[in-house]
Structure 1
Amino acid sequence: MERRNQTSISEFILLGLSNKPEQERLIFFLFLVMYLITVLWNLLIILAIRTDSYLHTPMYFFLSNLSLIDICFTSSTVPKMLVNYLSGNKAITYTRCLTQIFFFLLFGGTDSVILASMAYDRYVAICAPLHYTMIMTQKVCASLVAVCWTWACIDALIHTASLTRLSFCGHNEIHHFFCELSVVIRLACSDTLLNDLMVYTIGGLTTVMPFIGILISYTRIFIAVLKIPSAHGKKKAFNTCGSHLAVVCLFYGTIIEVYFNPTSTHTAQKDTTSTVMFTIVTPMLNPFIYSLRNNDMKRALRMLFSRKPGLSL
């Protein structure tokens, strides 16, 4: 009888970052510019790496994959938000909401694992330089990337499929600018224990395991660098890792702020701001971090621009 009184909802309302028209216009233009910069600069990184044979190495192979993932990751949430602000209609259907969750988890999980693969690459380059070419072969690099996508895809499928067993019959307002998994779970009017367990176990592994791998890799790198006798050698070794470390700190710092802080410290506004950081700001900054700190990337980008009349770097 209780089930009969429940009404299944067919859409959710994405409340976004603000409900004030003047702020919404500012947010629209700000996020449009950020999205265009993200797509443009990450595409430039991919093109520069593909057109410069000197950059056909494992490190830049992983970097080009990271740039592609960052484009997809941002594209899974921002375009829908921009359309909502432009049209004034903040509704998203149940099916599209689940689709958005799937792709957000897919690209976010792949991002996390690819960063761990890049850390392993730097570990081999610094701690076993004589064996680097034998260890980091094209086959190994392709296999690592395939594992990244497969792992993240399985994780995304499990979470998305588990949402289909939930009933949504009451509130349909999402206090976010996209369908975020934990927020959608909290809207369900059926038992969510299994979903919560999967978020903290399977979902946690997708974030925690790569992070542990990165910590282990950089601990060994740090120990190896300390053993280098010359100051120039130490500086060169740290420079090869500096860009990657900056990206890792940006990505995981905001994830930890959102998902691994005590629930008592959470507010909707705080969580949304932190989510904006790792879903939009970090993918936008990644290509700048790598291009500004890397002389090889600067040279490759100059060569790329010099081939296009009227463009300069």
Structure 2
Amino acid sequence: MAKYIYIICPPKIATGGPEALHQLGFILNQLGFNAHMLYSKWKVNPVHPFYKRYKVPFVTKIIDNHETILIIPESMTNLIAKYPLSEKKIWWLSLDFYEVLMNYRGRKKNIINVIFSSKKHKEYNFESNPTVTHWYQSHRTKLFLETKKIDNPIAYLCDYVTELFLEDLPDLKDIKKENIITYNPKKGLKVIESFKNELPQYTWIPLKGMTREEMRDLLRKAKLHVDFGYFPGRDKIPREALVSGCCLLTGRGGTAEFAEDLGIPNKYKLHPNEQKQEIIIPLIVQIMTDFEEVRDEFMPFREFVMTEKNRMIDDVKKLFS
């Protein structure tokens, strides 16, 4: 058993990636390991309120040695060189943020930084390094990693929909649905705005400015969740909507293209050239009118999502055995 396990995470940020990292810490400690969060920047009270429920202790510094395991999200691979002795696990929760943030850090450096910066802060470009192992959260990322020369075998590890969305969840037949359509205003808003005014018979509610409990309660009332944005990883909100008994209508950007990552029927995943009123409006009307019949089409993937936590526990046991 590893003596020390540290999970590197940005502080005070509530998105799918940090939640996955806290879920991993929670599971490791439930299994008897000694896992702590190591936040990437110093903050007073760095734990976001959403993640206090996981009760993962945190530290502000670590000792780099052969008894230490570091779990590093793909967005922070520049930290690999900082800890040469530790065993490092890169958890690819998104494929796109690796390159985006690496380029961002590069733009921030001026010539003085480049000359005097320590080798401990250099970017990771898949150099040979036997202390590095890769975990993928999505099938899309697996395909990407298989194109690289990697020293250690890659492995699958996916997060899960938090218990908040499963607590006191009624049977689907007992959930009282209304003519509500939810959407994430941070993703694909331009496409959504182009047709939602054509469907005033439905109540359109953006998922913003609410607590997690309020969001859960709203999704349990809604019939449909729409997301035409880009999916950098296996996004949380669509899975939370499925658990809550919603149907989904999405684009195909990123992981949404792959059935292994978003296993809903293809007719509810629209290519950009299909995202037009003459296709979307009749499809939404059909979903809302024949809701219970359409919802049955989503049941296989919903059942898969409902068992994600048990699979994550089993996978963590294998990875740390």
**Could you state the TM-score of these two structures normalised by the residue count of structure 2?**
0.28
Bigger helix share: 1
User: Which of 1 and 2 has higher RCO (CA within 8 Å, sep 6+)?
Assistant: 1
Bigger strand share: 2
**Could you state the TM-score of these two structures normalised by the residue count of structure 1?**
0.28
